[in-house]
Structures are given as C-alpha cells and as structure tokens.
C-alpha cells in the first residue's frame, strides 16, 4: 500500500472522529446544562449563594452553574410558555 494513501485514510478517520467527538460533547454539555438548570430553577432568590456553595463543594467553576441556570431559564421552551 502506498504511504500517501495510508496517510490520507488515517487523516480521514481522525478528522471524522474529531467531528463526532465535538458533536457528542456539545450534545452532552447541553444536556448537562439543562439538567443542572432544572435543579437550580426554584432557587431564584438565593441563586448567587447556591452557585457559590455548589462551586466550593463540587470544586467546579461557578460559570458552569451560572451557564446552566441561565440556559434553563432562558431556553425558548420557557419563553413560549411565558407568552401564553
């Protein structure tokens, strides 16, 4: 087998896998944001303290919880429900 063909084939496999990983990662992150946001949805009044405490206890960046909270609260599904 010609090395150039081998190289092209492996490059194609790697490229295809990278695309699939990025797609799957995005899908999993959106699911995680939605699920965490759902858990946080009833804590509007104390959301900043809750996020800070979660960040400390779970040793995660606060941004994950802020993004999750806002992702859930501002999701178009909720916007449609509020307009009715």
Residue 8 is part of which domain span?
3-83
The mean per-residue pLDDT over the stretch 3-24 comes to: 89
Q: How far apart are CA 49 and CA 14, in angstroms?
A: 43
Give residue 84's pLDDT: 47
Total of domains in the chain: 1
Which uninterrupted H or E stretch holds 36? helix 3-40
Using one digit for the tens of pLDDT, what is the confidence trace for 50-76?
999 999 999 999 999 999 999 998 887
Share of the chain above pLDDT 70, in %: 90
Split at pLDDT 50, 70, 90, the class of 83 is low
For residue 29, what are the CA distances in angstroms to 45, 47, 83? 26, 21, 28
Of 24-33, 36-45, 55-64, 71-80, which range is least confident? 71-80
**Would you say 35 and 69 are in contact if contact means Cβ atoms under 8 Å apart?**
no
């Amino acid at each position: 087998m010609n090395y150039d063909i081998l190289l092209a084939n492996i490059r194609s496999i790697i490229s295809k896998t990278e695309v699939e990983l990025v797609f799957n990662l995005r899908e999993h992150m959106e699911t995680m944001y939605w699920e965490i946001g759902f858990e946080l949805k009833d804590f509007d009044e104390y959301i900043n303290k809750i996020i800070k405490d979660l960040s400390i206890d779970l040793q995660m960046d606060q941004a994950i919880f802020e993004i999750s909270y806002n992702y859930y609260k501002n999701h178009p599904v909720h916007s449609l429900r509020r307009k009715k």
